[in-house]
């Protein structure tokens, strides 16, 4: 596991000489060692966190005659099987690392190499003889990759800071991307917060070379998976899950897990406990009235069942330093309130381990989100007589959005308001954290004029409409796979784990497992009455029964309580009239009213306020 950087600049030795500074900027991704390669057109480098072949996996790595070189960030879980195949084809190896396997895989298959890879990756391969190379990002975007193109020059990195801090690109705010951030709490690829930097989309690679046109090419899409409409059972999925978790235990170091009281992480932990490298589990416990967000008793029952060491962690009270440090980890605005527990658990686990497993991905694979059920129900709601739909809307919209059930009331209103829209726009409304109308009120006129408010939602609509599946939940999951999964949940886990030099693996986001599940018809995967019914049925043989009776809570923090207590001073300082007036982006009067309403309980503006706080922290810590 590493961080990678590089510059292809045939006519600029000055740019190529910046690569060591770029690598220094991401040292936390790989504190164990560094490595570089440079010639008269390209310079590439890496920072390494040693996990596989601790002594022999030093990068860059070359093929037999030194004509092909690679820097690599990630893990290839089928590297041993690939090595055996490549050896039978005449390739010879100097190390036992998965990095070297990629070099020979490229030699053998060229740009068709991706269909052979099972793992998470971002890498650059340079072919000296052909004077061409590729820069690639894995199927799901588990590993990040940023790039900038100017004329024939390319610079790339695992993190934005390696492009900005050495001065390769200027800090010019992309206001359209800023609006996307407020819409979704993250910025969808290919946009970033900076004008001249892009994210490489998952399952894409950049092909470049001396005197050659630079191309961005997609190497895989879920639409390519053949749907088996005749299947009525999912008998092999349990074995696929087991096999994926076992593959993700490939390491030469000990491994821990993030264990909540949920089905996903509990099942991953239960199966992983069979391996001698698996040592321990960690869970977050918030101390608040009624233990609303405390799943530690459920998590503990799993650990006890399998004789696993169990650790509980309570987030610190001083949240401002945590959030400021997290803003530096993300490099651009990011506002999921799971930042607080995720930062805390990564910090604690990294004190003892280099690798941890997570249950991320279960909701997308097996239909676990409320919005999935809501979208499906909306197709049934469409069949009601229009007068009845209208009457229901009038009643629901009169209910005030406050109090204990504010979130449920908000969901109901969003459902009704979107019910007359096409399905793609309907789903956009479900995943939008702050509506277009609400965002428009936040900006000063000079900033609003730089934003196409309707454009921010286009990545969601385009993904939904591009999906060739027939089941509406498959369409929603496909849309999330293209946007929410790589740039929200995987960004959250990658940035905060690697900020603490911890590799976080996601065995439920595995190409082989995903293909097996995605090929099943919706009627086999999804149940109207039970979320993640297929996964729950599989997990019953492994987990204590009380887990299946517990209410799903999610890995989040008690945000409303924090905004009015631990984060109140920070909130009031960052969103004060004097601070916002200096910045000249947001309307101080509008935001002042939102803060007042939130504190008085008049309306639930928690998401908007937390998003604005995280933007201000990014602005102060990273941009200025």
Please state, rounded to an integer, the average pLDDT across all residues of the chain.
92
According to the model, what pLDDT value does residue 559 have? 82
Predicted local distance difference test score (pLDDT) of residue 319? 92
CA gap 143, 145 in Å, rounded: 7
Phi/psi zone of residue 53: left (φ > 0), alpha (ψ -120 to 50 degrees), beta?
Answer: left
Check residues 287 and 449 and name the one with the higher pLDDT: 449
Cβ atoms of 512 and 118 within 8 Å: the answer is yes
Of 611 and 294, the structure prediction assigns the larger pLDDT to: 611
Give the pLDDT score at 174.
98
Given a contact cutoff of 8 angstroms between Cβ atoms, the answer to whether 187 and 34 are in contact is no
| Inter-residue long-range contacts of 482-485, CB under 8 Å, 24+ positions, other chains counted | 482/201, 482/202, 483/184, 483/188, 483/189, 483/459, 484/184, 484/186, 484/431, 485/140, 485/141, 485/361, 485/364, 485/509
pLDDT of the residue at 398? 62
Q: What is the pLDDT of residue 291?
A: 45
pLDDT of residue 130: 97
pLDDT of 600? 86
Share of the chain above pLDDT 70, in %: 92
What does the pLDDT look like over 181-190, one tens digit per residue?
Answer: 999 999 999 9
Residue in this structure with the two tokens 């949940």, named with its chain if needed: 489
Q: Pick the residue with more confidence: 294 or 461?
A: 461
Instruction: Write the pLDDT tens digit of every residue in 408-452.
Output: 666 666 666 667 889 999 999 999 999 999 999 999 999 999 999
Is the pLDDT confidence value at 262 over 70?
yes
**Residue 413: predicted pLDDT:** 63
Other C-beta atoms closer than 10 Å to the C-beta of 11 total 11
pLDDT tens by residue, 200-223: 999 999 999 999 999 999 999 999
Least confident window among 448-457, 513-522, 547-556: 547-556
Per-residue pLDDT of 9-53, as tens digits, reads 999 999 999 999 999 999 999 999 899 999 999 999 999 988 877
Read off φ and ψ for residue 117, nearest 5 degrees: -95, 135
Residue 527, Cβ density class (10 Å: 0-12 exposed, 13-18 middle, ≥19 buried): middle
Summarised one tens digit per residue, pLDDT across range 263-272 is 999 999 999 9
Q: Which pLDDT value is given to residue 231?
A: 73
Note the pLDDT tens digit of each residue in 297-329: 999 999 999 999 999 998 777 899 999 999 999
Domain ranges of the chain: 2-221, 237-366+480-548, 558-624
Q: Is the pLDDT of residue 613 over 80?
A: yes
User: Does 237-366+480-548 match 2-221 at the fold level?
Assistant: no
pLDDT at 153 over 60: yes
Say if residues 290 and 539 touch (Cβ distance below 8 Å). Answer: no
Q: Which fold has domain 2-221?
A: 3.60.20
Of the candidates 219, 199, 202, which has an alpha carbon nearest to the alpha carbon of residue 157?
A: 199
The confidence band for 553, taking pLDDT boundaries of 50, 70 and 90, is low
Instruction: Judge whether residue 555 has pLDDT over 90.
Output: no
The mean pLDDT value for 289-303 works out to: 77
Calculate ∠ Cα 380-381-387, nearest 5°: 140
Specify the 3-state DSSP secondary structure of 64.
coil
Average pLDDT of the residues in 521-537:
87
Position 290 scores a pLDDT of: 44
pLDDT of residue 549: 81
Greater pLDDT, 389 or 245: 245
The DSSP bridge partners found for residue 284 are 313
Cα torsion angle, 597, 600, 601, 604, sign: positive
Domain at 237-366+480-548: CATH code: 3.40.50.620
Query: What's residue 415's pLDDT?
Result: 66
- Residue in 162, 153, 160 with CA at minimum distance from that of residue 197: 160
The predicted-structure confidence for 358-400, as pLDDT tens digits, reads as follows 999 999 999 999 899 889 888 887 766 777 766 666 666 666 6
pLDDT in tens, 497-528: 999 999 999 999 999 999 999 999 888 888 87
Encoded tokens for 170: 């200027």
Q: For residue 138, what pLDDT is reported?
A: 98
Q: Rounded to an integer, what distance in angstroms lies between the CA atom of residue 621 and that of residue 321?
A: 11
The answer to whether residue 168 scores a pLDDT higher than 90 is: yes
Cα 123 to Cα 156, 486, 536, distances in angstroms: 10, 17, 36
Q: Quick one: pLDDT at residue 378?
A: 85
């Amino acid at each position: 596991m590493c961080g990678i950087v590089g510059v292809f600049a045939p006519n600029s030795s000055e740019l190529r000489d910046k690569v060591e500074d770029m690598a220094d900027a991401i040292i936390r991704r790989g504190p164990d060692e560094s490595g570089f390669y440079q010639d008269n057109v390209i310079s590439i480098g890496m920072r390494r966190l040693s996990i596989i072949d601790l002594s022999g996996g030093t990068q860059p790595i070359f093929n037999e005659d030194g004509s092909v070189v690679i820097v690599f960030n990630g893990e290839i879980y089928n590297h041993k099987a690939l090595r055996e195949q490549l050896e039978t084809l005449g390739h010879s190896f100097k190390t036992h690392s998965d990095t070297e396997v990629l070099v020979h895989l490229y030699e053998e298959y060229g740009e068709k190499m991706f269909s052979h890879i099972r793992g998470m990756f971002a890498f650059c391969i340079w072919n000296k003889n052909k004077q061409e190379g590729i820069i690639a990002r894995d199927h799901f975007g588990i590993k990040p990759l940023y790039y900038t193109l100017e004329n024939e020059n390319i610079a790339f990195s695992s993190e934005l800071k390696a492009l900005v801090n050495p001065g390769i690109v200027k800090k010019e705010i992309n206001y359209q991307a800023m609006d996307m951030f407020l819409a979704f709490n993250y910025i969808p690829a290919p946009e970033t917060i900076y004008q001249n930097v892009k994210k490489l989309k998952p399952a894409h690679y950049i092909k470049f070379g001396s005197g050659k046109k630079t191309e961005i090419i997609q190497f895989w899409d879920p639409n390519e998976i053949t749907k088996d409409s005749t299947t009525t059972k999912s008998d092999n999925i349990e074995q696929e899950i087991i096999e994926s978790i076992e593959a993700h235990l490939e390491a030469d170091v000990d491994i821990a897990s993030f264990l909540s009281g949920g089905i996903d992480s509990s099942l991953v932990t239960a199966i992983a406990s069979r391996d001698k490298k698996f040592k321990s589990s960690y869970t977050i416990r918030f101390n608040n009235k009624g233990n609303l967000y405390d799943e530690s008793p459920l998590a503990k029952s799993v650990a006890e069942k399998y004789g696993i060491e169990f650790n509980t962690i309570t987030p610190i009270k001083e949240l401002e330093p945590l959030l400021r440090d997290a803003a530096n980890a993300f490099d651009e605005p990011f506002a999921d309130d799971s930042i607080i527990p995720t930062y805390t658990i990564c910090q604690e686990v990294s004190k003892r381990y280099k690798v941890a497993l997570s249950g991320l991905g279960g909701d997308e694979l097996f239909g676990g989100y409320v919005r999935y059920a809501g979208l499906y129900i909306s197709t049934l709601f469409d069949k009601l007589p229009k007068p009845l739909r209208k009457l229901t809307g009038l009643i629901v919209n009169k209910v005030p959005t406050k109090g204990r059930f504010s979130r449920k009331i908000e969901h109901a209103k969003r459902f009704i308001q979107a019910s007359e829209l096409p399905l793609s726009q309907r789903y956009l409304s479900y995943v939008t954290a702050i509506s277009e109308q609400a965002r428009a009120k936040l900006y000063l006129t000079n900033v609003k004029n730089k934003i196409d408010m309707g454009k921010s939602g286009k990545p969601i609509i385009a993904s939904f409409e591009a999906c060739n599946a027939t089941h509406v939940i498959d369409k929603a999951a496909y849309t999330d796979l293209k946007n929410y999964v790589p740039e929200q949940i995987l960004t959250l886990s990658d940035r905060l784990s690697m900020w603490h030099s911890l590799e976080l693996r996601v065995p439920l986001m595995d190409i082989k497992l995903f293909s097996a599940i995605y090929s099943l018809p919706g009627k086999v995967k999804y149940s109207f009455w039970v979320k993640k019914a297929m996964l729950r049925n599989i997990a019953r043989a492994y987990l204590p029964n009380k887990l299946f009776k517990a209410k799903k809570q999610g890995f989040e923090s008690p945000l409303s309580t924090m905004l009015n207590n631990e984060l109140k001073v920070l909130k009031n300082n960052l969103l004060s009239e004097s601070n916002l007036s200096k910045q000249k982006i947001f309307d101080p009067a509008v935001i002042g009213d939102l803060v007042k309403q939130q504190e008085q309980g008049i309306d639930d503006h928690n998401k908007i306020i937390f998003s604005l706080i995280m933007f201000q922290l990014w602005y102060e810590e990273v941009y200025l």
